[in-house]
Amino acid sequence: MTKRFENKVVAITGGSDGIGLATAKLFAIEGAHVYITGRRQELLDDAVKEIGHGAVGVQGDVTNSADVARLYERIQRDHQRVDVVFANAGIYEVISLDAIEDKHFDSTFNANVKGVVFTVQKALPLMAAGSTVVLNGSIAGSKGLPGQSLYNASKAAVRSFARSWTNDLKERGIRVNVVSPGGTETRLIRSYLDSQPEVEEALNKSVPLGRLGEPNEIARAVLFLASNESSFIAGHELFVDGGAAAV
């Protein structure tokens, strides 16, 4: 195993489960000082043990900017810098257009859009030239998947942030990119698919490679975008979806 992130400081929101946890484990194996957030303390504690390598968990909700600030206050005390930010936390909700209420709009956009804004903004004072930001998008941001227009739109906003922030931060030498998974075998999606077996069958058929992705497959793409191996890639959206968006 390489050590591309030896002594780098990495902040991952939503790092106690799914793609966030898989990514945190890979960063830690490659030598990073890993900090993760999660809303539930028990799940967060379990994740820190699973990650090992001195990982630190800071309980918080990305929809609360004070919680996000507390993450970076802890990192500042420990290291005075952040080298990589993976803005991963978000929610997935299937809700048809005629059923959308204020609460659905607020919960989706607070988690998937507002949370991303403040995760990146509040890291900036600790970031120097050569630092990287990876945003967790989705192929849903480029497609009109039925019954989830709020989610689709929230991920389209994430894609737009990468373009805008690449220009905003170019003078500071900070790169911003998006990793956009397709359907991925996480607890969040599994709980939905188990109740809708016909949806899972249709989803698998829509993917040229014929299956859901694994969290580690997304995590490896995140590490690539965060590393010097992608040093001339900026404002880009990397689909990790078995070909679903392209074919």
pLDDT in tens, 166-207: 999 999 999 999 999 999 999 878 887 888 878 888 889 999
The whole-angstrom separation of Cα 112 and Cα 104 is 12
pLDDT of the residue at 200: 86
For residue 193, being part of any structural domain is answered with yes
For residue 2, being part of any structural domain is answered with no
Among residues 128, 133, 126, the alpha carbon closest in space to that of 164 is found at 133
For residue 215, being part of any structural domain is answered with yes
Catalytic residue, candidates 35, 72, 92, 151: 151
For residue 247, being part of any structural domain is answered with no
Average pLDDT over the chain reads 96
Q: Where are the alpha helices (DSSP H) in the chain?
A: 18-29, 41-51, 65-79, 102-109, 115-121, 149-169, 187-193, 197-206, 215-226
Task: Categorize the per-residue pLDDT at 1 as very low, low, confident or very high, splitting at 50, 70 and 90.
Answer: low
pLDDT in tens, 125-155: 999 999 999 999 999 999 988 889 999 999 9
- Tell me the three state secondary structure of residue 136: strand
Q: Token pair of 160, please? A: 């737009």
Contacts of residues 68-74 at CB distance under 8 Å and 24 or more positions apart, as own/partner, are: 68/13, 68/37, 68/115, 68/118, 68/119, 68/122, 69/122, 71/11, 71/13, 71/35, 71/37, 71/122, 72/11, 72/122, 72/123, 72/125, 72/126, 74/35
Half-sphere exposure of 53 (CA within 13 A, CB side): 20
pLDDT of the residue at 143: 92
For residue 114, being part of any structural domain is answered with yes
pTM score, two decimals?
Answer: 0.96
CATH code of the domain containing 198? 3.40.50.720
For residue 4, being part of any structural domain is answered with no
The whole-angstrom separation of Cα 202 and Cα 217 is 21
Q: What is the DSSP letter of 227?
A: S
Q: What is the DSSP letter of 146?
A: T
Q: Token pair of 245, please? A: 């968006």
Positive or negative: CA dihedral 29, 70, 40, 185: negative
For residue 3, being part of any structural domain is answered with no
For residue 136, being part of any structural domain is answered with yes
Provide the domain count of the chain: 1
Average pLDDT over residues 22-33: 98
pLDDT of the residue at 202: 87
pLDDT in tens, 75-106: 999 999 999 999 999 998 889 999 999 999 99
Q: Token pair of 206, please? A: 């829509």
CA-based angle 41:45:47, to the nearest 5? 115
Residue 151 annotated in active site: yes
Give the residue numbers spanning the domain of 171: 9-240
* Per-residue pLDDT at 212 exceeds 80: yes
The whole-angstrom separation of Cα 112 and Cα 176 is 17
